[in-house]
Structure 1
Amino acid sequence: MSNGRTHIMSAPTHASFFAIVSNAADGDLAVFRVDASTGRIERLARHPAGEAVMPMALSADGSLLHAATRAAKRTIVTYSVDSGTGSLARLRTASIASSLAYLSLAPSGAWLLGASYGEHSVSLYRAADVHAHAHVEPVQVIDGIENAHSIVASSDGRFAYVASLGSDTVSCYAIVERAADARLELVQKVRVEPGFGPRHLRFSPDGKTLYVSSEFRATVAVFARDAETGTLTARSIAPRAPALAHLHDGPRPRASGTAGTEVDPSTRIWAADIQLTPDGRFVFVADRTTSRLISYRVTDDGSLEYAGYTDTETQPRGFRIDPSGRFLVACGEQSTHVAVFAIDAGSGALALLSRCEGGRGANWVEIIRQMPHDVC
């Protein structure tokens, strides 16, 4: 809930930016421009991608975008990105075997990392193969990771971290590169509380902390991270948000097949994405059941305290914070609009600035800073 006055830093020193949203139901990517002086969002274009397009991975320099489709035809679609205009040019569509719930890039851009929730596995792809061939096999698949939901690489490209929702574990793998080859080698597997349901992962700006969102509680587990060894040490778990006090923890129930025994899924927490402000002061988690963004403040001792909530687009699966830390862009799977919020620099409170018509089944957001010399 947004309280108090929202302070937006003066705009001249900040670049406007483009937000790219994947629309699973429409099978396309929508490109929006957000004005840095006003926070106004406008849709620029829509680009076909493929049925059930969902996770996206942006290269470190913002020049390449990869998007994975999860329908019967599973692919990774690669686009070049014009950071001056926001336009996308489709370069290659490579078919793959897995349905990827998460896709990310190693900082070097040489390796794509994928997590398959239904296949209980993670995969390592050579990016050059994805860019060059119509069908791509992973260079490595690691099976037995129950409901693998995300995989992210550290900023130095030495380690990859995997959230296993089904086993309540977070694993660290070394990314071992040899010539043109690479392998993921297990370094450590750590457990979170039973029933936590780890979903998505984010690093603090200095890389010394790993934040893990809970799908079943909408809380966040905080781990200290050793940059040299990659290992994690549990520090704390954020408190449960009072804004979700009327909901139960645990996975959304499925129909049992016996009449009258079904439980209303709207009584369960159903958290999704997690994002941090670039200064590392605030952490946000999306809950799809209530369509709320839950905010946490990072305290002096590194733990998280509840800071508030903001209503957003219906069933928010994905959202993103711009590089300046002034704006948050959110979409919803059951909304056809994309919203821009101002982030109060002092409190982390969100204030709605603008909305724009988007697409159906919106689920993922990537942001690209607009190059200043190309701004009209």
Structure 2
Amino acid sequence: MPTPASSGPLLVLTGSYTPDTGGDGAGLDVVRFDPASGRPAPESGLPPLPVSGASFLAAHPTLDVFYSTNETDPGTVTAVTRQPDGALAALGTPVAGGGTNPCHLTVHPDGRWLLTANYGSDTEPGTVAVHRLDEHGRVSGPTDVVVHEGSGPVTGRQEGSHAHQVVVDPAGRFVLATDLGADAVFAYVLDTRAGTLAQSAVSRLRAGSGPRHLAFAPGGELVFSSDELSSTVTCHHYDAQTGILTEGSAVPATTAQDVDNYPGGIVASPCGRFVWVTNRGADTVAAFRITGSGLTPIGEVPSGGTWPRGLTLTAGHLLVANQHSGTLAALRVRDDGTLEQPAPAASLPSVVCTLPL
């Protein structure tokens, strides 16, 4: 089994688009997931927390604090904690996100900095922002905002830069930001005293690929990208000394024909053998085996809804947030990396992301 199973139900935080951001969701909800049955269900007695455009979630490494993007214009980020009865509560007020339409965020391993990727808009470039976190996990700032530059050949999507993800590499040396509009991954060094970013390198990727998210294999030597605009998954070699990605082989994200498809979430297994990707359009989750320095397709199953966006691995299952159908589905992972058909899904309008609590 590539991921350990759990002996009992788990709580999962979910985020959704709200009416003010084009969706029908409540913002943040708590779901109870039973790995034995593979069925998620809303947790009774815990009301949702209204958070505007909660499109991505991240956890503090040591505190019972969680962070949500507020995908608005201008964008903000919200810190959330849990009360003794388990109910969600905002930790302070939303803080300026440092750009337009924040779509991803992560907490630095030292727990003192929150990093946010702001997609931008048709007129505003993508940016990456740094926010200071105090000893209680409250957000202030931003302390720095860097603006991406670049464009690509895909009309209507790549006239300008669009930061889509920001992560810290496995060695903790570089902050990496994917840019869908610029076909690039920007590498930065974070000054952990001042909270500022210094650009150290740019990895230029295949024109028109539109890199969305990255997933590192254990060890950090290989990193995989879900390429939203070319409907591919690419294997890259990562140089931990420079922060540079060297592009390798790419495979189609789906076997579906005659469908416009946009890969979304991507996860690499902790055992280093498999990669899984959601396909918006084909409405599937595809499984791949890592073979040397590339990927081999090993199966593809329905996602349990339509427009699968977020993807999280927990307790031997992939939790899939199906945005347009408003369903959260769980796909059991077999020992060989292939996936079982999902159990009945939970109804969560406009759900787009999940985070195990």
- TM-score interval, smaller chain: 0.7 to 0.9
Farther off after superposition, 109-118 or 341-350: 341-350
Q: Which residue of 2 aligns with 1:330?
A: 320
Gaps of 5+ in 2: 19-24, 150-160
Return closer, same or farther for 1:46/1:345 CA change in 2, 3 Å cut-off. farther
Q: How does 1:65-144 map to 2 (within 5 A)?
A: 65-72=66-73, 74-81=75-82, 87-96=87-96, 97-98=98-99, 99-118=101-120, 119-128=125-134, 131-132=137-138, 136-144=140-148
User: For the structure 1 residues 155 and 28, does the alpha-carbon distance in structure 2 shift closer, same or farther, using more than 3 Å as the test?
Assistant: same
**1:252 corresponding residue in structure 2:** none
* Corresponding position: 1:215 with 2:228: yes
- For 2:280 and 2:87, how far apart are their aligned partners in 1? 30
Q: Aligned pair in 2 of structure 1 residues 80, 191: CA closer, same or farther (>3 Å)? A: same
What is the CA distance between 1:272 and its match in structure 2?
A: 1.4
Give the superposition deviation at 1:191.
1.6
Residues 1:298 and 2:290 aligned together? yes
- Counterpart for residue 196 of structure 1: 209
1:269 correspondence with 2:249: no
Which whole-Å deviations, capped at 9, do the CAs of 1:75-120 have from their partners, x for residues lacking one?
A: 32212247x9864332222331523111111111211111111132
The higher radius of gyration belongs to 1
The root-mean-square deviation of aligned C-alpha atoms, in Å, is 2.6
Structure number with higher relative contact order (C-alpha < 8 Å, ≥ 6 residues apart): 1
Contact preservation (8 Å) 1:271, 1:287: yes
Counterpart AA for 2:11: F
Residue 12 of structure 2 contacts residue 356 of structure 2 at CA under 8 Å; is this kept in 1?
yes
Corresponding residue for residue 59 of structure 1:
60
Other-structure match for 1:288:
280
**Residue 50 and residue 88 in structure 1: after superposition, are their counterparts in 2 closer, same or farther (change >3 A)?**
closer
1:299-314 matches, cutoff 5 A: 299=291, 301-312=292-303, 313-314=305-306
Q: Whole-Å Cα distance in 2 between the matches of residues 14 and 282 of structure 1? A: 23
C-alpha separation in 2, matches of 1:242 and 1:81: 39
2:37 partner letter = T
CA distance in 1, matches of 2:71, 2:136: 16
Partner AA of 2:115 in structure 1: L
CA shift in 2, pair 1:14/1:242, >3 Å: same
SS at match of 2:61: coil
Deviations along 1:337-371, whole A, 9 cap, x unmatched? Answer: 2111111111422331342222x211111123xxx
Match of 1:343 in 2: 333
For the 8 Å contact 1:27–1:53, the answer to whether it is kept is no
Distance in 2 (alpha carbons) for counterparts of 1:100 and 1:127: 18
In the alignment, the residues of structure 2 paired with residue 40 and residue 62 of structure 1 have an alpha-carbon distance, to the nearest angstrom, of: 28
User: How high is the TM-score relative to the length of structure 1?
Assistant: 0.80
SS in structure 2 at match of 1:137: strand
Offset at residue 208 of structure 1 (A)? 2.2
Task: Please tell me whether the aligned partners of residues 209 and 223 of structure 1 are also in contact (alpha carbons under 8 angstroms).
Answer: yes
Q: What letter is aligned with 2:30?
A: V
Q: Say how many residue pairs are matched.
A: 331
How far does the alpha carbon of each residue in 1:45-92 deviate from its partner, in whole angstroms, 9 at most, with x for none?
Answer: 34223222212111234621001212357432212247x986433222
Q: Name the % identity.
A: 24
Amino acid across the alignment from 1:53: A
Unpaired segments ≥5 residues, structure 1: 1-6, 248-267, 369-376
Residue of structure 1 equivalent to 2:168: 153
1:17 corresponding residue in structure 2: 10
Structure 1 contact 116–148 (Cα < 8 Å) conserved: yes
1:356 aligned to which of 343, 346, 349:
346
After the TM superposition, which of the residue ranges 58-67 and 98-107 deviates more from structure 2? 58-67
- Where do residues 204-283 of structure 1 align in structure 2 (5 Å cutoff)? 204-237=217-250, 239-241=251-253, 243-247=255-259, 268-283=260-275
Q: 1:81 to 1:319 in 2, by over 3 A?
A: farther
